[in-house]
Structures are given as structure tokens and as C-alpha cells.
Amino acid sequence: MSKWIYTKDGKNYGPMKVAKIAKAIFNSELELNDYILSAETQTWHKIRDIPQIMDIIHKPMRKHLFEDIDDSLLEEETED
């Protein structure tokens, strides 16, 4: 499996597997338009152009991002 390196604030992170890159995206450490370096080929690629990462990003989540929400909080306020 390929490994990737990214640079943030002048510091290199990696090499790491695609799952860790996806986690960095979920944690807002990286964005889909950021470039990462292939440890294997030493070439830069835009994250959104790497199918293995995009497959993880678009996989359905197993847990909900939000717990039960009181529906009344979602209703628009109306003036009387």
C-alpha cells in the first residue's frame, strides 16, 4: 500500500497510509485541494485526485456525527 507525506507549517508528516491522510482531512488538518507527496514516486498529487483516499472520504460513516437533537431546535422561529 502506498504511503504519503504532507507538509504543514514547515514540518513534514509521514510517510503514512491513506487512512491517516483521510483522518487528517476529517480533523480539518488537510483539505481536498492540498497536495501530498508520494513516498514511493516522490511526486506531488492533489488529495482529491487520489482514488484510495477519496474512497475512504466517501465511505458511509458508521456512527452519527450528532447525537439525538431536539427537533424544536431546528424549527424556524415565527413571529406572532
CATH T-level topology, domain 3-57: Dna Ligase; domain 1 (3.30.1490)
Q: Structural domain boundaries of the chain?
A: 3-57
> Which tens digit of pLDDT belongs to each residue from 20-79?
999 999 999 999 999 999 999 999 999 999 999 999 999 876 665 555 556 565 565 555
Alpha-carbon distance of 7 to 79, in angstroms, equals 51
DSSP string, 13-61: EEEEEHHHHHHHHHTTSS-TT-EEEETTT--EEEGGG-HHHHHHHTSPP
Pseudo-torsion of CA 62, 26, 1, 41, nearest 10°? 160
Per the CB < 8 A criterion, the answer to whether 3 and 10 are in contact is no
Cell of 58: 466517501
**pTM for this one?**
0.71
